[in-house]
Amino acid sequence: MTITLRLAALALLILPLAYVPAYTATKKNSPVVQPKSESKPEPKPSPTAQKPGPMQKTTIILGTATPGGGFPLFGDALAAAVNETDPTIHIDTRNTKGSAENIPLLEDNKLDIALVAGEPAYEALAGIGRPITSIKIITAIYSNPGMFVVKGDSEYRTVQSLVGKPIAWGTRDSGLTLLARYVMDGLGLDREKDFQATYLDKAGDGPAMVLDGRVAALWGGGVGWPGFTTVTQAGGRLIGLSAADAARIRKKHYFLKPLVVPAGTYPNQTEIVSSVGSWSFVLARQGLDDELAYHLAKSIHRSYNNLVKRVAQGHETTPQNTVAAAPRVVNIHPGVQRYLREIGIIR
């Protein structure tokens, strides 16, 4: 064989081998033909990425009122009790101006839940002086018998004896201040015209004004109310309503209920104090998820013993009182209604 033929034959043998690496590389990039032995499995997500290690919490914003009043005291106790009992919920409290501000904040979805006194809640739910609200009840919290507190050596013994005197009615946006308007109106009196009305920037300012004589009396309500505690600890007295006055008020304002504060409820209180009042509520913003409302109602109920240890009013925070205090069952959040049916309180 000539040299030329031999070289040609050798080239034919080498040519396919020169293209093998390029062909093999093309096949390696194809997932269809790549041998399993040569593949690199995708890294699996770690358990932490698949599901969070610690249990996730839902944060709920609770509006209360100005410092020094009953709502911040109760709201902080309720938040602490639920947060300690339920690891899936964290209630975060916010000071506000009180009931009158809490309702529009709920309607604007700027709070998740809020404490609201009975009178503004009643007006909003019934559409008195405003459109009917779509916010709903989560739970009743405690009753609010309206009363005055005066210094122990004060000459004042009845509501009528305070006419014309300087009175601290509370903050303008407080539900207790609105209760005062209804109570005085039922007695044929006007807070502004028949008294020297003083309104507070903070509820906590009132007790000092009584004790140093700037006002003759401080209006407030409920059991364990901080303003009453401060003044009665210093020897002050509570002034309630006579049976005749209570009947007269209820004849005009039927939604107010006769309420009694047992003797010994406050320091140095040796006698029963009778009055009228209403129930305060935890109300929920418009559109609060049914499942969350159900879970919250259940958590508040489960936190009952913890709540009672923290605040005296907590013993009234029950599902039974929620149903009794609500103007109508339809005013209770659907998610809460589901829980109340589950435990046999409503059908």
For residue 240, the domain's CATH number is 3.40.190.10
SS3 57: coil
Give which of 87, 142, 133, 112 is closest to 292, Cα–Cα. 112
Question: What is the domain count for the chain?
Answer: 1
Residue 91 lies in a domain: yes
Q: Is the residue at 21 inside a domain?
A: no
Structure-derived torsion over alpha carbons of residues 329, 332, 333, 334, reported in degrees to the nearest 10: -10
For residue 94, being part of any structural domain is answered with yes
Is 15 inside any structural domain? no
The pLDDT value given to residue 55:
58
Angle between helices 334-342 and 290-302 (to 10 degrees): 50
Q: For residue 4, is it within any domain?
A: no
User: What predicted TM-score, i.e. pTM, was given to this entire model?
Assistant: 0.74
Q: Is residue 35 part of a domain?
A: no
Residue 116: which of 284, 333, 242, 241 has the closest Cα? 284
Residue 261: C-alpha distances to residues 3, 35, 148, 269, 277 (Å): 125, 85, 13, 10, 11
Bridge partners, residue 280, by sequence: 142
Q: In angstroms, rounded to a whole number, what is the distance separating the alpha carbons of residues 180 and 178?
A: 5
Helix (H, G, I), strand (E, B) or coil at 138: strand
CA atoms of 20 and 22, how far apart (whole Å): 6
Distance between CA atoms of residues 288 and 119, nearest Å: 23
Taking only the tens place, the pLDDT of each residue in 23-39 is 333 333 333 333 333 34
- Is 29 a domain residue? no
Which residue numbers in the chain have pLDDT < 50? Answer: 1-53
Pairing of strands 217-221, 58-63: unpaired
- Structural domain span for residue 335: 58-342
Judge contact between 299 and 125, C-beta under 8 A.
no
What is the spatial distance between Cα 199 and Cα 184, in angstroms, rounded to a whole number? 16
The dihedral through the CA atoms of 259, 265, 138, 346 has a sign that is negative
Residues across the chain? 347
